[in-house]
Structure 1
Amino acid sequence: MPFITVADVLRLSVITAGLPRVAAGGEQLGRAVRWVHVTELLDPASFLEGGELVLTTGMPHPSDPTQLRGYVDQLADVGVAGLVVELGRRYQQVPPELVTACRERELPLIVLARGVRFIEVTQTVHALILDAQGELLRRAQHVHELFTSLTLRGAEPEELVQTAADLAGCPLVLENLIHHAIICAHAGRPDGQILEAWPRRSRTATTPDRAAVSGPEGWLVAPVEERGSRWGRLIMLPLASGAPFGPEHTMILEQAVTALTLARLTGRPMWDRRAHSSVLLDLLHWRYRSRTEARLRAEALGLPTTGHRLLPLVVDHVTAAPGDTPVADHLAGELHTAGVKALVGNLSERRTGLLIALARASAWQPVAERVARDLQAVFGTDVVVAVGPSVTELSEVTGSFREAEQVADAIGPASRARPFHVASDVGLPELLYTLRDDVRVQKYVEHQLGRLLQHDACHGSDLLTSLRAYLEAAGNKSIAAKRVGLSRQAFYQRLHTLERLLATDLESGPQRTQLHVAVTALEALRGL
């Protein structure tokens, strides 16, 4: 990173000539040095702004330990990078009270056993600082141009966040106002170190007005706004090495926030729904490396998994017009209002997925029926709601979702009387509806019924209806004749015609079964 730290200064030859020793604050040597300030004043804080490396011979230091502690407190309060004390003029050895005070305030204290020329130290360090600042400006220009290019080509928010993480070498998390992790860019850090108990940890870090370090974990946080109102925030987690954030980290975070803000103004702003869709698709196809990774990702979006039953639903909205309210958005709003925890996202253009968390002792049927009836009231009866078996482990969701998808695929127009459907609702008509695009099914229908369909088409007759009534009556001619409104004698004549056209014996149970399958398949092919 293009900034000078206390540790960098200690490696300079102008300092090593003084045989430096870190007497206190060794864990804080990564602090950035903004400037070097030489002073022999007892109260130098009024001349400091923070980030300075203070050089002194200790000449004005008081002998009173209380006053010595007050001196250190002034430096720590203003935020200096460190204190360098040269021995020989005021001290032959550094006072223990000074060491204790610096240790308590975590202020780096460097003791020089030999005298050095302070002017050479300031000149050397200031030259390096100016070079670093120039490099930071060049770097900032590069980062600005990169994010501008991404914005102009309409980059998705996932790419913007990942780019920032790659540039900074730190994990980043984009979250909304209720602390759900919408996007997580790892930067080489495992999910378990990033998203574990995310909502709880996130609430301990306040949101500053601009990029700043916040919270007990030392996150770098910046707000993300939309049309003047706060939408969420972008969080940069510390480096795995524990090194502090520098100016470049802040610059990268601010550039990413600007790009995200512009993306919300000019692009598709439903990032929450995109995040839910991503997790649902990853669960459906099980793209996670471990159960822990899947659990953390779902919980970071507000879905409780431990101690709950998980109910997958698949919603097909086959005739929803593009201008209608998106089904996923409608469902998310309704479930949120009802206090139901769920992931809601699009699995495809016409298919929406839900993963609902329920208390283990609660019944799932009322929830499924409420979802189905609400959708049918808003979007019409062409909406199909398929329910997979409820599970208690997130790793079992994949199989349950796949079963729900298979059920949804099988529900044709003739099967939509129920508000929702489960696997036991899939019978012969639903199975054949699933297979309606299979050429073998189409050939079977044509082989069994082709001559009959051709006869009806050429003569304007409706023998197919008579055949269907006979098959549905299980071969009872009287019942079938009554259903089609014919006398028994007229109906018998139609049966003889059917036997001739189909070259079959309608009194044969197996042959009636074959024809019943063919008629049912024909209805599936016609979408009835």
Structure 2
Amino acid sequence: MALLTLADVLRLPVIAAGLPRVMAGEDRLNRPVRWVHVTELLDPASFLEGGELVLTTGMPQPNDPTRLRGYADQLADVGAAGLVVELGRRYQQVPPDLVAACRARDLPLIVLSHGIRFIEVTQTVHALILDAQGELLRRSHQVHELFTDLTLRGARPEELVQVAADLMGRSVVLENLVHHAMIVCTAGGPGGPILEAWQRRSRATPTPDHAAPSGPEGWLVAPVEHDGQRWGRLVALPDQTGPASGPEHTLILRRAATALTLARMTGHTQWDREARASALLELRHGSHLSRTESRIRVEALGLPTVGHLFIAVAIGHRPDAADRADLDSRVGDDLRGAGIHALVGRLSPDRTGVLLTLPLAAAWQPVVERIGRVTEETLGEEAVLAVGPGVTALDQVARSFRQAEEVADAIGPATPPRPFHVSADLGLPELLYTLRDDVRVQNYVERQLGRLMQHDERHGGDLLAILRQYLDAAGNKSVAAKQAGLSRQAFYQRLHTIERLVGGNLESGAQRSRLHVAVMALDTLGEGSS
């Protein structure tokens, strides 16, 4: 339902019959017409409230240029939609001074070359206005019911914002008090380029007490509250089709803001964290966003990008870890408290991701160690921190996360504990741990060590342990015998038994390598003994 504008009125047959010509305010014809007022008074402003289209024959208007300017100033000051002057009775042509005065105040001035019946104009326009008002009331009821239903079924904030965007046909942004864009939706889906230089533009746009146009770009802004205090605001942006500040747009945005306020009252309060987690997942999966759109989205969340290094951190933990739900918030709060820019979010049930945004000259290791301390305090020593390579472009973040997660997947019981792990820490034990579920690896272990393990099972022997000590000593029998607490003769006898069971010569470096790989692989399967 659109407002009746001045341009609409000029297209009506009852007006078109007067051959209207626009003499001033040509770029203001989109002004809404709230009412039509016929007057021959020299001071009509005292009877106006704003938004009226004033019709006159010009009979009372003086020839004095000063008084003509005063007449135009009165109408402009009160916010009249425009002035229509009918020629023929008072003027044969409109006074140039009146045209100049209206142009100076951007007041639309329309001249009718032929006479028309003003009563027909008022009847026609008022009927259209009343119909529009009735339609607005019906639309208001529909919008109220829609958002009430969404609220009652606990719709998430993303859905509430998307519904508002779809109803308005405009881009709608939910932002917090520090002008971070939490949720961005357009009538066709999530938005991107509309967030260019978002914080600067947003700070130039004041927040009204109620849904109303604001700022130099003509944004429609509605406050969103929580516990009686302002939490943020909902913003609808104009587009090429027109502004976003009509009465229907206003009621939609106002109702959406109310629904968001109610959503916060009923428990949906983690919007900042969820927005950052959503952005993190988009970067981690290398979503459809372009490099520019990704940069704009991240910057709109308050993270710097230019001249910064991005560090991907993957935190591995058990899916059933008791405090894993708190890990995201604790890490995020700790980094934010230290003034460190980061996105934190759940990557999967058993993994939390952190994307650090650090100045190029800053050392990232102390920051990762800080994350490790918070993780250990939350989950204990079971968690694993893995770090991907630092990158300088957002479209490289997905690759960095993949490498970090590959490192996390490879860290097993045989890996020495460290505050964090990088790809350089991965060796043969980590490779075998990664492949532990591969049937080919399991078959290899069975071929190399199966008979040896069966012998130990039947006889309660320790041949597997002896072989491990021998291999760990790099084939030095004396050292291995000493570590085993056996005499050299007893140790040699066990080695001969091992050679018979595995079918190879332990003096062979290749044989020892095959067995060493098999023993390490066995350890990754949880069947080896230390």
AA at the equivalent of 2:498: L
User: Secondary structure, in 3 states, of the residue corresponding to 1:415?
Assistant: coil
1:216-245 CA deviation, whole Å, 9 max, x = no partner? 101001111122222211110013133463
1:178 alignment partner in structure 2: 178
Matches within 5 A, 1:84-99: 84-99=84-99
Identify which range, 412-421 or 57-66, moves more after superposition.
Answer: 57-66
Q: CA deviation at 1:215?
A: 0.8
Q: CA deviation at 1:7?
A: 1.0
User: Separation in 1 of the partners of 2:323 and 2:141?
Assistant: 42
AA at the equivalent of 1:369: E
1:259 alignment partner in structure 2: 259
Q: Is the 8 A contact 2:237 2:244 kept in 1?
A: no
Matches within 5 A, 1:183-202: 183-187=183-187, 193-202=193-202
Moved over 4 A (4+): 188-193, 322-325
1:55 alignment partner in structure 2: 55
Matches within 5 A, 1:325-474: 326-415=326-415, 417-474=417-474
Identify which range, 32-41 or 219-228, moves more after superposition.
Answer: 32-41
2:46 alignment partner in structure 1: 46
AA at the equivalent of 1:467: L
Q: Is the 8 A contact 1:412 1:527 kept in 2?
A: no
User: Separation in 2 of the partners of 1:304 and 1:67?
Assistant: 57
2:300 alignment partner in structure 1: 300
Q: CA deviation at 1:262?
A: 2.4
User: Separation in 2 of the partners of 1:64 and 1:302?
Assistant: 58
Identify which range, 202-211 or 339-348, moves more after superposition.
Answer: 339-348
Q: CA deviation at 1:127?
A: 0.8
Residue 142, structure 1, aligned to residue 151, structure 2: no
AA at the equivalent of 2:29: L
Identify which range, 126-135 or 136-145, moves more after superposition.
Answer: 136-145
Identify which range, 2-11 or 54-63, moves more after superposition.
Answer: 54-63
Q: CA deviation at 1:394?
A: 1.8
Q: Is the 8 A contact 1:176 1:233 kept in 2?
A: yes
User: Secondary structure, in 3 states, of the residue corresponding to 1:380?
Assistant: helix
1:121-178 CA deviation, whole Å, 9 max, x = no partner? 1111111111112222222222223223333333332222122111111111111111
C-alpha change, 1:355 and 1:126, in structure 2 (3 Å) is: same
User: Secondary structure, in 3 states, of the residue corresponding to 2:339?
Assistant: coil
User: Separation in 1 of the partners of 2:62 and 2:322?
Assistant: 78
User: Secondary structure, in 3 states, of the residue corresponding to 1:326?
Assistant: helix
2:490 alignment partner in structure 1: 490
Q: CA deviation at 1:319?
A: 6.3
Matches within 5 A, 1:303-314: 303-314=303-314
Q: Is the 8 A contact 2:319 2:349 kept in 1?
A: no
2:159 alignment partner in structure 1: 159
1:73 alignment partner in structure 2: 73
User: Separation in 1 of the partners of 2:496 and 2:60?
Assistant: 123
Q: CA deviation at 1:440?
A: 1.7
Unaligned runs of 5+ residues in structure 2 are none
User: Separation in 2 of the partners of 1:181 and 1:80?
Assistant: 37
User: Separation in 1 of the partners of 2:234 and 2:491?
Assistant: 76
Identify which range, 418-427 or 377-386, moves more after superposition.
Answer: 377-386
C-alpha change, 1:246 and 1:209, in structure 2 (3 Å) is: same
Unaligned runs of 5+ residues in structure 1 are none
Percent identity over the alignment?
67
Q: CA deviation at 1:513?
A: 1.2
The alignment yields a C-alpha RMSD, in angstroms, of 2.3
AA at the equivalent of 1:77: D
1:226 alignment partner in structure 2: 226
AA at the equivalent of 1:197: A
Q: Is the 8 A contact 1:39 1:54 kept in 2?
A: yes
2:208 alignment partner in structure 1: 208
Q: Is the 8 A contact 2:192 2:297 kept in 1?
A: no
Q: CA deviation at 1:72?
A: 2.7
C-alpha change, 1:329 and 1:189, in structure 2 (3 Å) is: closer
Q: CA deviation at 1:63?
A: 3.7
AA at the equivalent of 2:444: Y
User: Separation in 1 of the partners of 2:39 and 2:291?
Assistant: 58
Report the TM-score, using the length of structure 1 for normalisation: 0.93
User: Secondary structure, in 3 states, of the residue corresponding to 1:234?
Assistant: strand
Report the TM-score, using the length of structure 2 for normalisation: 0.93
User: Separation in 2 of the partners of 1:448 and 1:474?
Assistant: 18
Q: Is the 8 A contact 2:236 2:244 kept in 1?
A: no
AA at the equivalent of 2:345: G
Q: CA deviation at 1:28?
A: 1.8
AA at the equivalent of 1:489: Q
1:338-363 CA deviation, whole Å, 9 max, x = no partner? 11122222212232222222222222
Q: Is the 8 A contact 1:469 1:480 kept in 2?
A: yes
Identify which range, 421-430 or 445-454, moves more after superposition.
Answer: 445-454
